[in-house]
Amino acid sequence: MKAKIRIFPVISPTHLSLARLSPSKCNIRQDLTTQSSKSHQFETSPSPLYNTAILSDAHIFSHLEFLHEASKEFTGLIDATILAKVWLEQRGLGKEWGGGFLLSMLMAWLMKGGDSNRRLGRGFSSYQIFKVLMEFLGNLLEFSIIKL
């Protein structure tokens, strides 16, 4: 029997205040021995991607619980997630989208009624769920909210 053990070090969601992790805050620290103007400018510029990554890591257990509940509720979600991951890899977007994790969360959110404009059934097939995801992303691209 082959088994893999993966250890994910995470922090508690209550460890850092939400105000500290706002997109306008800088949480990247430079070496204090360099006193150039460039390092001072870098030190005070916001770090929204870093802050978002910390928030995401802190809430990994609640995200996984959400995905688990959604996969029990919607039987086609697991196969739709695999389909979405293949779609991402074929377009070279796997790393930008967190290896499919973001699309998995987005599909679960859509299936749970996150986008109130859609009627989604519990018996949707994986293809139907994937189609809903593509339509949702297409609408976002149409309004230039995200770029692929």
Query: Cα dist. 16→21, 44, 54, 101 in Å?
Result: 8, 19, 9, 23
Alpha carbon dihedral 13, 110, 122, 70, in 10-degree steps, equals -20
- pLDDT by residue (tens digit) across 81-104? 999 999 888 888 777 777 778 888
Its domain, for residue 33, covers 27-58
Name the amino acid, one letter, at 148. Answer: L
For residue 126, count other CB atoms closer than 10 A to its CB. 19
140: pLDDT strictly greater than 70: yes
DSSP 106: H
Q: Does one domain contain both 41 and 92?
A: no
Same domain flag for 51 and 70? no
Q: In the predicted model, is pLDDT for residue 119 greater than 80?
A: no
Q: Does 5 fall in a domain? A: no
The pTM for the full model equals: 0.67
Over residues 12-67, the pLDDT tens digits come to: 888 888 888 888 888 777 665 555 555 555 556 777 888 888 888 888 888 889 99
Check residue 143 and give its pLDDT.
Answer: 63
Q: Is the pLDDT of residue 70 over 70?
A: yes
Looking at the structure, tell me whether residues 67 and 105 fall in a common domain.
yes
Planar angle of CA 24, 139, 146, nearest 5 degrees: 30
Cα–Cα nearest to 114, from 124, 105, 123, 122: 105
Residue 31: predicted pLDDT:
61
